[in-house]
Amino acid sequence: MTVDREQVLRTAAALLTRKATATMDEVARAAGIGRATLHRHFAGRDALIKALEGFCLQEIQEATDAARIDEGTAEDAVRRLVAAVEPSAGLMSFLITENQLFEGDQNEGWDRLDARMATLFRRGQESGEFRIDLSPAWLTDALYGLVSSAAWSIQDGRSAKKDFQNMIVELLLGGARRSVEK
């Protein structure tokens, strides 16, 4: 029997975003494979998490490309971006938390993603759309934090899934917009 690695990763992602403490046995069961088969593909939890990180980064990079964040106004680009990353929000929030376990382990994928987001926010500052007293790095982290918080809130039933985009965009842009003094 051939194991579909991507399907195992999708299953693991779905389980771990709901239950971050799931064991490798639980992941194997959810994926419909044996623990030994899972371990042949991923030597342990750390290897699984690293594979999930690569999988998530690829999805977010693709979503960022699809959102065309270099086109139009920066505000519109943020709106498109939030809509595009919504399907990966749960996994992204899990990985952002899980990444704290890998201190000092820099990941080029996250660095590239951070750079793209910072460029978007810098463009918004240069065009006069966004405040200049908030660094692009901070706005990037705020975006990640809001995506994660919205995913957790929806998962826990405190917020409605239909509100995901509006919650993030309105709070982020409401704080980032440059106000014109009269």
Query: The domain 56-176: what is its CATH number?
Result: 1.10.357.10
Listed in order, the ranges of the chain carrying CATH 1.10.10 are 1-42
pTM over 0.75, yes/no: yes
Least Cα distance to 78 among 86, 67, 87 occurs for 67
Span 17-59, pLDDT tens digits:
778 889 999 999 999 999 999 999 999 988 998 898 888 889 8
Pick the CATH number of 1-42 from 1.10.3470, 1.10.10, 1.10.1060, 3.30.300: 1.10.10
The predicted pLDDT at position 182 comes to: 47
Amino acid at the residue 101 = L
Please give the chain's pLDDT, 182 residues, in tens. Answer: 577 888 898 888 888 877 888 999 999 999 999 999 999 999 998 899 889 888 888 989 999 999 999 999 999 999 999 999 999 888 888 777 766 555 555 578 888 999 999 999 999 999 999 999 999 999 999 999 999 899 888 888 999 999 999 999 999 999 888 876 54
The predicted pLDDT at position 109 comes to: 82
**128 φψ region: left (φ > 0), alpha (ψ -120 to 50), beta (else):** left
Q: Which residues contact 137 (CB under 8 A, 6 or more apart)?
A: 114, 118
For 100, the token pair is: 């704290």
The predicted pLDDT at position 90 comes to: 83
Q: How far apart are CA 96 and CA 53, in angstroms?
A: 9
Listed in order, the ranges of the chain carrying CATH 1.10.357.10 are 56-176
